[in-house]
Amino acid sequence: MERVKFTLTQDRSRVKHIIDISPDCWVVEIREPSRTKDQNALYWATLHDLSDRVKIDGKQYLPMVWHKYFKERFLPGSIIELPYGHIVEAEPSTAELTKEQFSEYIEKVMQFYHLHKEE
């Protein structure tokens, strides 16, 4: 069985059934939902606007560059150990942020945007 993801609703019988038929030692994880599609669309629209309207030292940057910049600036990284003892910092990700965490993240991006946009 591959990874299966369910959003809990009032009818939980299918989820219960899947749990009942799953092999022993499998893991069930229950967590807050991650960001919404609407939040993600707002975020990328903001990055595109920012790309068009913000210049740093006279230079404009692509939305993907801003995305990387804001992840590095506003999200905590994590330290991971690779084989042979190599220690590196993993790149932060917005993908698993909860709705609330992503809202706070977008707010920080928008504050930056409003402080730096050219009219």
pLDDT of amino acid 23: 84
Asked if residue 96 has pLDDT above 90, the reply is no
Q: Which two tokens stand for residue 52?
A: 């068009």
pLDDT of amino acid 76: 86
pLDDT, tens digit, for every residue of 36-68? 889 999 999 999 999 999 999 999 999 999 999
Asked if residue 20 has pLDDT above 90, the reply is no
Q: What pTM did the predictor assign? A: 0.71
Contact 114, 53 (CB under 8 A): no
The whole-angstrom separation of Cα 117 and Cα 52 is 9
The whole-angstrom separation of Cα 10 and Cα 99 is 20
Question: Strands, E, within 8-111: which ranges?
Answer: 78-81, 87-90
CATH superfamily of 33-116: NinB (1.10.3790.10)
Asked if residue 1 has pLDDT above 70, the reply is no
pLDDT of amino acid 43: 96
φ/ψ region of 8 (left if φ > 0, alpha if ψ in -120 to 50, else beta) reads beta
For the chain, which residues make up each domain, given as ranges?
33-116
Contact 109, 70 (CB under 8 A): yes
Q: Which two tokens stand for residue 108?
A: 């920080």
